[in-house]
Amino acid sequence: MPLIILKRLLGTLPNLFGIVVITFLLTRALPGDPAAFFAGPAGTQEAVEQVREKLGLNKTLPEQFWIYLKDLSAGNLGQALSTGQPVRQELLTRLPASLELVLASLLFAIAIAIPLGVAAAQRPNSWIDHACRLVTTAGVSLPTFFTGLLLTYVLYFLLGWAPSPIGRLDPYLTSPPTITGMYTVDSLLAGNIKLFLASASQLMLPVLTLGIFVLAPIARMTRAAMLQVLSADFVRTARASGLSSTTVLVRYALRNALLPVVTTLGMVFSFLLGMSVIVEKVFAWPGVGSFALEALVASDYAPVQGFVLTMAVLYTLLNLLIDLLYVVIDPRVRLGD
């Protein structure tokens, strides 16, 4: 098993290199001049040239790419000109905030979508089946930023159920001691229940926004997979054998329907990584998405390249985790196949 995992990781290196090349070229093709931006509107042409030389932008593209590869091989992702800090440090500081948001949204979506899909498949054309179709249609139809603004207006402004969308924690509270970087987890590890509730409440609006978006494909796939499995011969045989409906549903039907659902979770996770950029901006969430977006506006190449590479590595690790889950769900699946 470890050897197979190592082979899978080595097999992703060409993909990661391709991402590095494409990201490098795309950032250079974007409109705007970083040197002119950081020289300021009052900067002279001489000042702009000095900044361009300092940033290495006066070199040819192959020379710039070679320097970038050498820095990357040494673990140096460059300097974020917009913040004055190394990109690696900025990503390590902000990544836990984004992961906390994405993972909480995924857990929320799974907790709602899978039971909803199973219930809809058990009772086709019932009210719960129609409700499932309505939820999935609304989830994929509403733009994420619109959902976020609508939830903020209703839950915060009108009803007052949600806290102010001002980031990860109320300004009057102190963040927990850093262990994982996720405030909810760190506050629990520190035994501070009050801080946990405060940080969890700040997650409410962004998690609902992302969760509603990804809930739709999970519920739809669960319903479709369960409908197919429930009509299979082995399920009818299990029912005829006198097994309880719960045993048939969980041990026979749901377990066999989980493989396509797990595949959908992998795609959904990639959607979450992309959508989190918009949600972080709407809710002033200090994650890597908002950091990359600010850098993109400022034509700051290094943070954008570091962000894309980090997301690619996360997605690669997620695909490996999904492969391992296949083996857990169905032992007949082999990673070496």
Give how far Cα 94 sits from Cα of 88, 171, 197, 285, 289, Å: 10, 18, 21, 10, 9
pLDDT at 187: 92
Burial of 61 (0-12, 13-18, 19+ CB in 10 A): exposed
Give the residue carrying structure tokens 């709602």: 112
Query: Distance (Å, rounded) from C-alpha 158 to C-alpha 168?
Result: 21
Query: pLDDT-derived band of residue 332, with 50, 70 and 90 as boundaries?
Result: low
pLDDT (tens digit, 9 = 90+) per residue, 47-91?
777 777 777 777 778 888 888 888 888 888 888 877 778 888 888
Query: Distance (Å, rounded) from C-alpha 50 to C-alpha 300?
Result: 16
Q: Is the dihedral of CA 69, 70, 76, 81 positive or negative?
A: negative
Q: What is the mean pLDDT of residues 290-312?
A: 83
pLDDT (tens digit, 9 = 90+) per residue, 240-262?
887 788 888 887 788 788 888 88
Domains of the chain: 2-86 (no CATH), 87-329 (1.10.3720.10)
The length of the chain, given as a count of residues: 337
- Structural Rg of the chain based on CA atoms: 24
Helices (H), the chain: 2-11, 13-29, 34-39, 45-55, 61-73, 87-122, 127-141, 144-151, 183-189, 193-230, 233-240, 245-247, 255-282, 288-297, 301-329
Assigned token pair, 26: 């795309």
Q: How many CB atoms lie within 10 A of CB 64?
A: 17
